[in-house]
Structure 1
């Protein structure tokens, strides 16, 4: 591919971005909210590789399309200056480190009959993650909402809905975008086929995933996790109930204890929370199961990002699109902020975990350059010490 086919890159090479995403995938804790916050801090604010407008487009597209938000945002940022090649390499770099980690943990889990120490680690890490996500949500709110009253109304509504339902309702994101578009800009661009035709072209392919109940196990894994990647919106918060109903209740691949351990693995490893699919796939069918589960989950999110991306780039500066993106971004950040409370209800279970979360918030607030992996490591040690004492 010739270099002239790329728009001018703002002072960075593709390999610099790939190396950044490898590092983020290897060291970025806290789930989609924190990961999106890190990308904004590092790529928009500090390095200025990505513009605020491009970042907001990425967040909006990640919320519009099904699949894990953080991975889609990373893929889109790779696409901004380096198109398909950039999106592909960045997506692989972002997911690969955490995939290798969960496969290693899956091997240890099977080899040694469970990971008893994981509960102790998660006791501390889960509480610290709440603090990390809270700080990330605060930064995203300040950057995306500002003092705009309409956006604040959308933000608060979506935050409340997320807390009440403990899920992310996809049509509300789209409704928020349409509302701001109708109030602030003419609707002429919607007459273009663009995104609607893209979505329609995917339907036959998605419908073909519906079968496969009597297929070999690897095929069943591919079908199930492709549906998880294709039909679940938002983040790990949204995909966990879908995974539970499938792998525990319907398919009986895992029992309750194994599924809880799988979610814990996702939380104590860096990178996207959705990478728990690799651990689940390993428990069901070994290394091949892990690879198939991960590929099947992330392929739809990759396609749902790179196929609409040209339309976002082509029409993204039109007033109607800007208004639509602003509405979806406000809804997305509101849902992300609401998810902080949802996750806190699961991770803060007593006074020590509440203290860990509050101290994490205070430390990150005061020491803005402190690296989150240091906080995670300290929280893990605290969990290993306190958990046995609290559950003696």
Structure 2
């Protein structure tokens, strides 16, 4: 193995500084994008478990900075967290390769499903698979949320109220509020590391909101492809929150405003995102395929993910440069507590959609029990078993 570590690309292959090569991280993200079921909450949990706890490629501080940045910027949480981790030690090249590796597997899957969907006029087995997989995923997400809460919130008396309020707001509104994350960060910052002007009795200055911009694709042939590019760039630039937060936004555009899909097709598109691994936002690729074929899928996916890439790599150097300052650490702690609270609340929100009867409830509880007992059991095995159970059981419990 040592012979492979030549000086051809020393900044990529050297492991002495941080214990891994860029290609090892790319392979991990490629694998996670291939088998990482459960949406952004579970994917963020997998990254923490695998890259911080088990492999120790990243520190707690690296992970918390990435999670905070992903919550503050618009776009899909899991993809932005992956991009940030790629940036930590390998800068733009790492962010680019890691981001592409994370998104590519699920993109190819939704394109294949889109081709099958248009060829055969729908995918009837999808609901049966999601019946089983959706319930198991709730168990997986619950365990991920538990681990994140134990590690990042712990017994901190200031962070626990923030965690609980964020969870409650997420459940009540069924969305993630960026102002709640910002407010939590400012609160902990002012409490733990107040600036000098505050300690001396000066008034508060206004807190700047994150800057959101619009990334527009151009030089695209065809009016419809241009519409797709502009619309999904807008969606990727202005929708805050992880995964499912973009779903109601997309519904208003692709169904109500443009009439590209019917209600039934949109529901199927969301189901495709939930039963395929990788980021939930990859449903934009499936929608793009239904609207305008393969190139529609390419344009929709690129237009959605390029803004989140830019919103990650542009502020990332400042997070790394100033991340050790006490005021920044306090701000990140507050944002992280709110983010994890939102993740915990999302377990309930998603569970309301996936737990529909005693069978799915039992499957979710069984998943938690199995993961608690067998901590090294791979999630893909659980998901595969749940899919088989769904295919067998769902037709029996669904009225004709």
* Cα displacement (A) at 1:209: 5.4
Partner of 2:73: 65
Task: Select 1:108's aligned residue among 107, 110, 116.
Answer: 116
Q: Deviations over 1:196-221 (max 9, x none)?
A: 69x55x64xx2x8599xxx8111111
Q: Which residue of 2 aligns with 1:326?
A: 333
Is 1:50 aligned to 2:50, yes or no? no
1:82 and 1:196 map into 2 onto residues whose CA distance is 29
In 1, Cα distance between equivalents of 2:217 and 2:34: 34
Q: Matched residues in 2 for 1:142 and 1:319: separation?
A: 22
Equivalent residues in 2 for 1:21-170, closer than 5 Å: 21-170=29-178
Structure 1 CA distance for aligned equivalents of residues 321 and 384 of structure 2: 43
Does residue 226 (structure 1) correspond to residue 197 (structure 2)? The answer is no
Does residue 1:362 correspond to 2:377, yes or no? no
Matched-pair contact (CA < 8 Å) for 1:281–1:292: yes
Q: CA RMSD in A?
A: 2.2
Q: 1:277 and 1:143 mapped to 2: Cα distance?
A: 33
Q: Give the structure-1-normalised TM-score.
A: 0.93
Match of 1:236 in 2: 243
What is the CA-CA distance between 1:9 and the residue it aligns to? 3.7
Unaligned runs of 5+ in 2: 1-7, 199-206
Deviation at 1:187, TM superposition (A): 3.1
Indicate the residue corresponding to 1:246 in structure 2: 253
Give me the TM-score of the superposition, normalised by structure 2: 0.91
State the match for 1:299 in structure 2: 306
Name the CA distance, whole Å, in 2 between partners of 1:2 and 1:25: 25
**Matched residue, 1:179:** 187
Distance 1:218 1:312 in 2: 36
Distance in 2 between residues matched to 1:42 and 1:298, nearest whole Å: 24
Equivalence map 1:260-275=2 (5 Å): 260-275=267-282
Deviation of 1:249 after TM superposition, in Å, equals 1.3
Cα distance, 1:108–1:342 mapped onto 2, change above 3 Å: same
SS of 1:253's partner is coil
Q: Could you list the runs of 4 or more consecutive aligned residues of structure 1 that deviate by over 6 angstroms after TM superposition?
A: 4-8
Distance in 2 between residues matched to 1:210 and 1:30, nearest whole Å: 30
Give the conservation status (yes or no) of the 8 Å contact 1:125–1:379. yes
Bigger helix fraction: 1
Task: Return 5+ residue gaps in structure 1 as ranges.
Answer: none
